[in-house]
Each structure stands twice: as C-alpha cells, then as structure tokens.
Amino acid sequence: MRLDPKHKISRKGLTVWRLYGIFEMLGILAVACVVSYLTIRNDWPQWIHAIGITLTLLSLIFSVIIFPKVRWERWRYEVREQEIEVKHGLFIVKRTIIPMVRVQHVDTTQGPILKKYDLSNIYISTAATIHTIPALAMNEADELRARISDLARVAEEDV
Amino acid sequence: MSNPTITYKKLPFATVAISALSILKTFLIPIIVVFFINFGKFTLNFNSPNFWSTIFTAGIWGVIIIFTLLAGVIKWWTFFYWFEDGELRVKYGLFVKKKRYISFERIQTLNYHEGIFHRIFGLVKVQVETAGSTDGKPEVEFTALTREAADQIEIEMRKAKAKPVTNEETSIEEDTVTEPVPEIVTEAMYKMSLKDLFVLASTSGGIGIIISGLLALLSQASDVIPYEKIYGELAAIAKYGVLIILLTIFVLFILGWVASLILTFLKYYDFKIVIQEEKMIITRGLIEKKRLTIPLNRVQAIKIVENPFRQMFGYATVHLESAGSNNDNNKESVVMFPLIKMHAIEQHITHLFPDYEWQQNYVPAPKKALPYYYRIDFFYIVPIIAVASYFLYPWGLLTLLLIPFTMGLGVWQHRTAAYCINDKQLTLRYRGISRVTFFVQKHRIQSLSSRQSYFQKKNDVMGIHLSVMSGASGAKASIRALDQADVEHILEWYDSEKIK
C-alpha cells in the first residue's frame, strides 16, 4: 500500500464547502418555491410540492452535510522535492502525481467567500493538465506557490 | 534600422477571393436552409405582408456577405511580410496595427494546406509555427501564397538555420546575396500504396454495415422466432415493419460507407512521409492537399489503433501525439501511418524513435477486475431500459439487448487491458471499441493518476490515467481497472526514480 500524502486541507475549507452547499440548496429552494407558487396558482397536482421539498431536503443532507465532510476527509496533498501528489474524490478516489519538472506555472486564486475565510485555491499547470489544491490557508498557499515555482524547473527540450 | 534592399511583400490578390469563398462556404448551408424554409414567402410586392421580412432577410445576408468581402479586402490590403535580420516579419491591421517578428531559427514547422479554392488559383495556405505555439494556433498564417513565395520562405528559413549567425553584418549580407538553395530531401520514407488506400477507405466505416446486415438477416429468421405467438394479429405488420426498418438502416449504412470511402480516399490519396533533418513531413490529399511537418523531438507519445475490423486482417493505424498544433482540426493526433500491417510497424518506426521499445511482455488485467469493465455502465443502462420498456412497450424491451452487449464489450475490454513498464517507458493497451496501444516515455508523461471507487477498493482493483501534451488540449490514456498492486507499482515507477 502506498502511503497517503501527508497534508490535509484547512478545516476552514470544510466550512467554505458547507457554505457552497448552502448556496446550492438555496438555489434549489428558490426554484422549488417558484414552482410551488405556480402549482397553487394553476391548480397543478399536489405532489409537485412534495418533489420540491424532497429535493431541497436531499440537497441539505448531501451537498451541505455529507459530501463536504467526505470530500474534506479524503483530500490529501503533499509537495515533495521531486513531485506533487494529491489524493481526492467523493465516489472515485483519484490520486495524481505531478513531477516538479513538468510544472509550468502555479496560480493562486481567491473569490469573495474564500477571501472572507482567508483561504485560496492553488492551480498547478503542466503542459497538458491543470490540477487544483483547494481551500488552503492564504499564507500556506503563498508559501506553497513559491516553493513549487522554486522547485519546478521545466526542461524545455521535452516539450 | 531599415535595410534598403528590403522588399515588402503582399499576398496575391486572389487571397480576397479565397477567404471570401471559404467563409461563404460555411454560410452556404444556413443560407440554403433559410431560403427553403421561406421559399413560398419571399416576395417583392410592396403590399404583401411578407415584403418587409423578405427585405430584412435579404438585407441581413447582404450585409454579412458585404462585410465578409470587405474584411477580406482590408486584410489583403494591410497585410505585408518581409525578411529582415534573419527574421520573418509580418504586419497587418487597419486601425490596430500588428507586427510580428519571428526568427527563422525559431520556426519549428511550416505547414501547407491547399484547399479546393487554393487549387483553383494555384496557391497554398502556409502556417508558421514555433515551439511556443502550444495552444493549437499557428504563429503566423498566410491565407494564400504562390508556390514560389512559399518556397521562398522555406529557403530563407533553411539558409538562416544552415548558417549559425556570428554577427549581424553577415546575416544581413546573407539576405541580400542570392544563395544556392540548400538541397531538399525528397525521397519518401513511406508511401501508401493504392491497394492499402483502398483497404483503408473501405474499412473506415465497416462495422455499421456488418451489424445492420446481420440485423436484417436476423429479421428474416422469423421461422425461428415465434412472432405469431408474441404479437398475435400484429405479427404481419410487425414483421414487415421490422424488415423495412432494418433494410432502411442497411441502405443508410451502405450510403454512409460509400461516403466515408470517398472521403477517406480523397483525404489520404498520395499519402507519403519524408524525413528531413529530424523532421517528419507528411503530405496527402487529392483535392485538398496538406503538408504537415512534425519535428521528431516534439513527439510526445505514439499510439497504435486497431479497429476491430482491421484488427482481423492484422492492420493498424499509427498516430503521433505531438506538442504544438497538430493542424488536423487541432483535436486529432497526427496520423503517421493511416493503414499498415501490424508486423511492419516496427521496421518502419524503430530508427525514427530509437528510444522506444516495441516488443513487450504485457501484464494483463486480473480476473477480479472484470466486473469493473461493465458494472458502472448499468447506472445509465438500467434507467434507459426501464424508461424505454415502459413507454415503448413492447419494442422498448429490445433495449434489454444492451445488457449482453455492454457485458460482452466489457469482457472484450477486460481481455485487451494490459500494461507494461520498463526502465523509461510505459505502455498501456486498452480498448474502447478499437484496440489502442499507447507508448509513452516517462519524461513525456505530464501527470499520472490512479482512480479507485469504493467497490474497487474492496477488491484491490485500481484504474490508471495519464496525460501527455498534444495539440491544444493534451492527450489522455487510461485503463479502467488493473490490479491495485500493479497500478501502485506504476505510480512508484513514475515518482521514485528522479525523472531527469
């Protein structure tokens, strides 16, 4: 068995994902409300309300409570001298190795919610793929970005 | 620093016609559709209620056409190119002037493309690429050049590359003196024979025919299948209905096959490969001619594809995944051998790619991995069957055939799945429908992933997925399920030893 990568992502990341889940739920709730309103107005069958309520509840259970938790528990990453390894996935656990010499550039980005929690996403680009490490503490992300770009020496004759 | 001998060159005026024609070609179908839909409604009678819509439609298309022509004229009017200081320089633009200078030494490839309109005027489209063009777009594109002008660029490029520039003085002199042309290798390393071309063209759409032919035959087997008992008085209608539908499908497939035969024939006619200074030059085409250049050191991976039909006869197609734009719609990989006998590949390819190993001892997917090649498909198949059977009863029940079909395909894919690693190279063999053998060197792999679902974990089975650079979007290879120990072994191989 390969050992798991060492680091987990910040605990605040879980909060942020829960927040995203809540937004998603609110979106569904809003649609459900509109449909319910139309149902009452146009005398559509009553079970339409039930569908709306069920979907909202499912979204509450899954995208707010369960999925963020599992995702957060699963997420591991490790930046080593020679490579970056990440492991993540809800249903299918993916484990990816990106050699340092393949890294072309590293970006960090931060939306308003992440900013509030002092987190940011880090994007690692190779010539063919882009990999993300989400919701890292700001200083950690900056440090990581600096470290990766230090370690990454692209051998250009290979591309 | 201007040089008195510099001549600014323009594209030939026919460029305008060519670009206008090729844009109009893409508009042709919408125009025809619009015309036919509104056929009865067009009128120039002012009192008719359709008058304004006629004017409006005609006006819109008129404006589009005029703008297209105008844009072509402006582009031609403002586009200049010239050679200076060992660089290819172009400038264009009406309001926003753009200039682009490319050092000849940096030019990796010159690709030629003669479309049907180019052929009429005897011109050629030239795309200039450097190592930087990784987003699938060429650095400079000459819409149309005369053959001589295109050759001129190539000659200049070869001159610049042949003479390592010591200082600016000499390089400028070089430009002004008419040099003898460096000789160009023209001996083809590989030429596709006419027979191969026919086999290629006739097998390019082959599977559909066989399947539909079999179905039509099956429908004749009504003696065996008790239609009468199943459908009672509907039997006759059902029987003939099925026969007619299947015959129609069969005819459609035949037509499709003929079309693909013709298209393939036109596309790959006179296919040949010339190797020249570590570059592979592929030319092909009957009506539309293409010339692709692929620097050998930019080849990222080699892919051998055998569609089942061709696999039966021992034929395969060889693709190259090359960094930089591949020029074939930017999506496909470059076809190196459209059709070649499996056993002949090695002899043709070994000296071009000496680092690769072709004979392999493959490690197959273990038996326990088998269910993972079809089980996941049930997620969408079962709902399809349920819905189809419920709403389209009884014919919807035919969707039940999807189950043995998917399982059969899964078993087939499982049998194909295998990998091999040695010192520097990873080889994956897998099947969608065609069998693919993907050869890649360790230092070309951009990233490597394992994938494992909850159920796979219980059985110690794992999938593998790799990306290499190719064209704009990169290329991928993956095997759905292998032994977990094997996949971890590959990951270990990839990250343990220092890559450089």
Q: What pLDDT, in 10s, does the model give residues B196-234? A: 888 888 777 655 556 656 665 665 555 555 555 555 555
pLDDT at position B252, please?
77
How much is the pLDDT for B215? 61
For residue B33, is pLDDT > 60? yes
pLDDT of residue B182: 52
pLDDT for A96 equals 94
Give the integer Cα–Cα distance in Å for B378 and B240: 32
Check pLDDT > 60 for residue B423. yes
Q: Identify the pLDDT of residue B359.
A: 80
Report pLDDT for B295. 86
Contact B495 A127 (CB under 8 A): no
pLDDT tens, position by position, B18-32: 888 888 787 777 777
Number of other residues whose CB lies within 10 A of the CB of residue A131: 20
Low-confidence ranges of chain A (pLDDT < 70): 1, 152-159
B355-500 is classed CATH 3.40.1360: no
- From A154's Cα to the closest Cα of chain B, the distance in A is 10
Query: According to the model, what pLDDT value does residue B231 have?
Result: 56
Q: How far apart are CA B143 and CA B20, in angstroms?
A: 11
Q: Select the more confidently predicted residue: B131 or B106.
A: B106
Name the residue facing A128 among B298, B467, B498 (closest C-beta). B467
DSSP, residue by residue, B366-428: PGGGGGGGTGGGHHHHHHHHHHHHHHSTTGGGGGGGHHHHHHHHHHHHHHH-EEEE-SSEEEE
> For B29-50, what is the mean pLDDT?
71
Q: Give the pLDDT band of residue B387 (cuts 50, 70, 90).
A: confident
pLDDT value, residue B179: 46
**B135–A contact, CB cutoff 8 A:** no
Confidence band (pLDDT; 50, 70, 90) for B451?
very high
Q: Give the pLDDT confidence score for residue B191 in this predicted structure.
A: 87
B342 is written with which tokens? 């499996």
Q: Which pLDDT score, from 0 to 100, does residue A143 have?
A: 87
CA distance linking residue B372 with residue B362, whole number of Å: 20
- pLDDT, tens digit, 9 for 90 and up, residues B55-74: 887 888 888 888 888 888 88
- pLDDT surpassing 80 at residue B498: no
CA-based nearest distance A26→chain B, Å: 28
The answer to whether B499 contacts A82, with C-beta atoms less than 8 Å apart, is: yes
pLDDT in tens, B339-365: 888 888 888 888 889 889 888 789 999
pLDDT at B175 over 50: no
Beta-carbon separation of A102 and B447 below 8 A: yes
Asked if B450 is an interface residue toward chain A (Cβ–Cβ < 8 A), one would say yes
What mean pLDDT is reported for chain B? 81
How many angstroms separate the CA atoms of B141 and B115, rounded?
Answer: 14
Under 8 Å CB pairs connecting chains A and B tally to 87
Residue % of chain B over a pLDDT of 70: 81
Report, as an integer, the average pLDDT of B306-327: 81
Q: Which of A1, A2, A3, A101 has the most B C-beta neighbours within 10 Å, making it the best mutation to test the interface with B?
A: A2
CB B241 within 8 A of CB B248: no
- CA-to-CA separations, B126 to B12, B140, B385, B425, B486, in angstroms, rounded: 13, 8, 52, 36, 47
Residues of B in contact with A94 (CB under 8 A): 449-452, 465
Q: Do A128 and B491 touch (CB under 8 A)?
A: no
**CA atoms of B253 and B296, how far apart (whole Å):** 39
| B108 dihedral zone (left: phi>0; alpha: psi -120 to 50; beta) | alpha
| Signed CA dihedral, B400, B433, B330, B270: sign only | negative
Chain A contact present for B480, CB below 8 A: no
Per-residue confidence (pLDDT) for residue B482, from 0 to 100: 94
- pLDDT band at B170, cuts 50/70/90? very low
Q: Which residues of A touch B (CB under 8 A)?
A: 1-2, 82-83, 85, 89, 91-99, 101-102, 126-129, 131, 155-159
B131 touches chain A (CB under 8 A): yes
Structural contact between residues A121 and A107, judged by C-beta atoms closer than 8 angstroms = no
Q: Which residues of chain B does A126 touch, with a Cβ-Cβ cutoff of 8 Å?
A: 446-447, 467, 469
Please state, in angstroms and rounded to a whole number, the distance separating the CA atoms of residues A134 and B184.
Answer: 53
Given a cut of 70, whether residue B185 has pLDDT beyond it is: no
Answer positive or negative: Cα dihedral of B352, B357, B359, B363.
negative
Q: For residue A82, which residues of chain B lie inside 8 Å, CB to CB?
A: 495, 498-499
- Report the pLDDT value the prediction gives residue B238, as an integer from 0 to 100: 61
Out of A85, A95, A128, the one facing B468 most closely (by C-beta) is: A128
- A41/chain B closest Cα distance in angstroms: 30
Q: How far is B158 from chain A (nearest CA, A)?
A: 21
- The shortest CB-CB distance from B469 to any of A85, A93, A127 is to A127
Q: What is the pLDDT of residue B203?
A: 77
The pLDDT value recorded for residue A1 is 66
Q: Take residue B298 and report the two structure tokens written for it.
A: 């930019």
**Tens digit of each residue's pLDDT (9 = 90 or more) over A11-45:** 999 999 999 999 999 999 999 999 999 999 988 88
Residue B346 class from Cβ within 10 Å (0-12 exposed, 13-18 middle, 19+ buried)? exposed
DSSP state of B282: E
Higher pLDDT, B241 or A74: A74
- Which helix (H) or strand (E) element contains residue A142? helix A138-151
- CB distance B453 to A92 below 8 Å: yes
Output the DSSP codes for A127-138.
SS-EEEEEEEEH
Length of chain A: 159
Q: Quick one: pLDDT at residue B460? A: 93
- The overall average pLDDT reported for chain A is 88
**How sure is the predictor about B164, in pLDDT bands with cuts at 50, 70 and 90?**
low
**Higher pLDDT residue, A132 or B183?**
A132
pLDDT of residue B169: 44
Instruction: Read off the pLDDT of each residue in B431-436 and give the average, rounded to a whole number.
Output: 89
What is the distance in angstroms between the Cα of A125 and the nearest Cα belonging to chain B? Answer: 10
Give the CA distances from residue A98 to residues A9, A84, B374, in Å, rounded to whole numbers and listed in that order. Answer: 18, 5, 30
User: In A, which residues are within 8 Å of B465 by CB distance?
Assistant: 94
Q: Is 90 exceeded by the pLDDT of residue B481?
A: yes
Residue B38 sits at the chain A interface (C-beta within 8 Å): no
- Say whether pLDDT at B186 is over 80: no
Q: Is B458 on the interface with A (CB under 8 A)?
A: no
